[in-house]
Structure 1
Amino acid sequence: MISGVRILGLVFGAFVLIYSFAMRRLGKLRRGELFLAQFLFVSVWLIAIYPPIVDILASMFQVEGRLFAIAILSSFVSFLLIIHLIIRLSTIRRDFGDLVQALALTSYGNDSVDGLDLANIAVVIPAYNEEGVIAEVLDRIPAQVLGMSTRSIVIIDGASDRTGDVVQSQGGLAVFHVVNRGQGDALRTGFEIACREGAEIVVTMDADGQHRPEEIERLILPIIERHADYVMGSRFLGHYSDRNSTRHAGILLYSSILSFFAKTKITDCTNGFRAIRASSLTRLELREPQFSAPELILEAVNKGLSIKEVPVSIMSRKLGNSKKPSGIAYPLRFGLAILKAWLRS
């Protein structure tokens, strides 16, 4: 006869399974949380249905008694729960990012002129302390590309220098984040403004002069011809002037991983030079504050956008220092961004 404790375990496990699938179906549970719930369900049911499995675990860990084995299993589950809490803490950071964006949009709305026309193509440029090079970048952006007018939107992401003043003196639209949030959040703010003002195509590029504005035509042509909704520039299909072997290998590795997750061939997953159809952009749910490229790609795939890569050039930085984390921090955090984007999908 099955004991009351075992019956309770079966009921609890069934509840966890049914509840987790229901929440996932409602969109309130992420993939990682679903995996955690399924692991808990399987563990509880195995112990309830076949208690001797605890003895097997005890022999594996070379401990005596079922209580010790259950304690080890409980510790492992606790570890997973701690990881889950860490992920949840990122939600709090995300809420703070939303507040920063809301302040930027409110300030933009108060300062903007009624009827401002951002033209057909909005060129969104996140900028953090780039006063030495941003003027040249803006000067090189064509006023028209393939007969479509352009307008630059520069998101000043908590800069401590005169980047914003330089942008405004060049006639560009400067939108200010009160604190530095990262490229992903800066892009989200730029996307919101571009879509709000009626842009048809949104181009993103870096503020450090490594992208060539003259190549915007390559990015938007497949969108105009309706061959793609999302066009990514690839240095490996085009020109790459700073071939650091370690970075080169890292980009290829992460591009392979993203290609596997996205089920589409990607050669340059870190390139920020891209173009997106504005009507498609509004369908993407973007949350990553800094390393946004993996999330953009996976979201585009999940939402059914057609993706294409075109050759572009990546030039060496002329002034200033890279804003990317130094050393091993960059590849680790970029890899984590890929994992988080996949788990959220």
Structure 2
Amino acid sequence: MGLSLLVAMPALNEEATVGDVIAAVPREIPGIASVEILVVDDGSTDRTGDIARTNGAAVLRHRSPRGVGAAFHSALAYGIQRQADLIVTIDSDGQFDPGGIPFLVAPVVAGEAEFTTASRFKDPNLVPRMPRIKRWGNRMMSRLVSRLAGETYFDVSCGMRCYSRRAALHLNLFGRFTYTQEVFLNLVFKQLRIVEIPLAVRGERLFGESRVASNLWRYAVQTSRIIFRSYRDYHPMRFFGWIAAGLITPAVGLGAFLFAHYLRTATFSPYKWTGFAAAGLLILAVLVLQVGLVGDLLNRHRVYLEEMLYRLRDQGRPPS
């Protein structure tokens, strides 16, 4: 008996492409018994929803634009409610080829991964054409996530992905602006298996511009904030420990300078201020470490609560 697959597409004013993307989704995939298509209409003002329905997709509509992260949350909740065994996300703007879905699904069906993602940069021969600043930004974001996760990833921002039911049930995300990088950290910290699948992807949209990455600086700030919040929540002692180390280092330097000055001159003048500064930095470092200890305690409780939430979701019951 095969598995059920939900193909979810976030969409905002994509009437020019959404129908073609839906039509191109493979209906026969090895190991998959049924394929359902969901379009999350994020407050479109054009005929996106109508065209999606005409092409056989279920449509979940937001009354107003809430962001691609919120659209993913809605798709995830829908898939869990429908008891989907696998959830594939793919953009409705035509950048991704739905023909690549079987390649994404295969490792999950085979039990080799809980989460797979299309990778634009893992295979040098498949790197798409895109502005240099965008390519640089994607690679810097991948290096940052790789460093924080302790793994090597080539592309953490691609939206074409496949989630096993276990991965979907384990996800607890907070970012509404975007979600792609947060997913990596969330699943890595929960020790789920991640596989990158090199696939050919169009570097830029055929119509319009990305609502997420249209302002690259805003995108960088928003995603960095989401990433560091995730890291803070899952590794509070390490996060606050580095901050404390950054405070202790100048404190020790100032203290050493003042002590050396005293040995030479037998007086603290005119550098008494360095002693007060060093003491202030050390006190602040201790306070930061205490925040890390409290965060570590809360993190243990969060792990227990997330495990309970996972089991409730798996049983098909919403948390009370």
TM-score, length of structure 1 as denominator length: 0.63
Asked whether 1:145 is paired with 2:29, we answer yes
Asked whether 1:240 is paired with 2:127, we answer yes
Partner of 1:279: 166
How many angstroms does 1:303 deviate by? 1.7
Mapped partners of 1:243, 1:318: distance in 2: 12
For 1:265, the aligned partner's letter is T
Partner of 2:44: 159
Q: How many residues were matched structurally?
A: 227
Identical counterparts, % of pairs: 27
Match of 1:259 among 146, 152, 169: 146
For 2:227, the aligned partner's letter is I
SS at match of 2:175: coil
8 Å contact from structure 1 (residues 200, 278) kept in 2: yes
For 1:143, the aligned partner's letter is R
Moved over 3 A (4+): none
SS at match of 2:36: strand
8 Å contact from structure 1 (residues 251, 268) kept in 2: yes
Mapped partners of 1:330, 1:141: distance in 2: 29
SS at match of 1:317: coil
Mapped partners of 1:344, 1:130: distance in 2: 36
Mapped partners of 1:286, 1:334: distance in 2: 13
For 2:115, the aligned partner's letter is Y
Partner of 1:178: 63
Mapped partners of 2:5, 2:16: distance in 1: 25
SS at match of 2:121: strand
Mapped partners of 1:233, 1:319: distance in 2: 22
1:115-169: CA deviations, max 9, x gaps? Answer: xxxx711011111111111011101001121141211111001111111111111
Match of 2:110 among 225, 232, 253: 225
8 Å contact from structure 2 (residues 177, 222) kept in 1: no
Mapped partners of 2:222, 2:143: distance in 1: 17
Mapped partners of 2:216, 2:98: distance in 1: 29
For 1:138, the aligned partner's letter is I
Match of 1:332 among 218, 221, 233: 221
SS at match of 2:122: strand
8 Å contact from structure 1 (residues 298, 341) kept in 2: yes
For 1:195, the aligned partner's letter is I
Partner of 2:233: 344
8 Å contact from structure 2 (residues 95, 205) kept in 1: yes
Partner of 2:8: 124
Match of 1:299 among 176, 186, 191: 186
Q: Structure 2: 5+ residue runs without aligned partners? A: 235-320
8 Å contact from structure 1 (residues 284, 303) kept in 2: no
How many angstroms does 1:269 deviate by? 1.0
Mapped partners of 1:271, 1:197: distance in 2: 25
1:211-253: CA deviations, max 9, x gaps? Answer: 1100011111111111110111100124233232111111111
**1:11-22 equivalence runs, <5 A:** none
Relative distance call for 1:198 and 1:157 in structure 2 (3 A) is same
Mapped partners of 2:103, 2:26: distance in 1: 13
8 Å contact from structure 2 (residues 134, 216) kept in 1: no
Asked whether 1:323 is paired with 2:207, we answer no
Match of 1:200 among 85, 110, 130: 85
Q: Structure 1: 5+ residue runs without aligned partners? A: 1-118
How many angstroms does 1:337 deviate by? 2.0
**1:69-88 equivalence runs, <5 A:** none
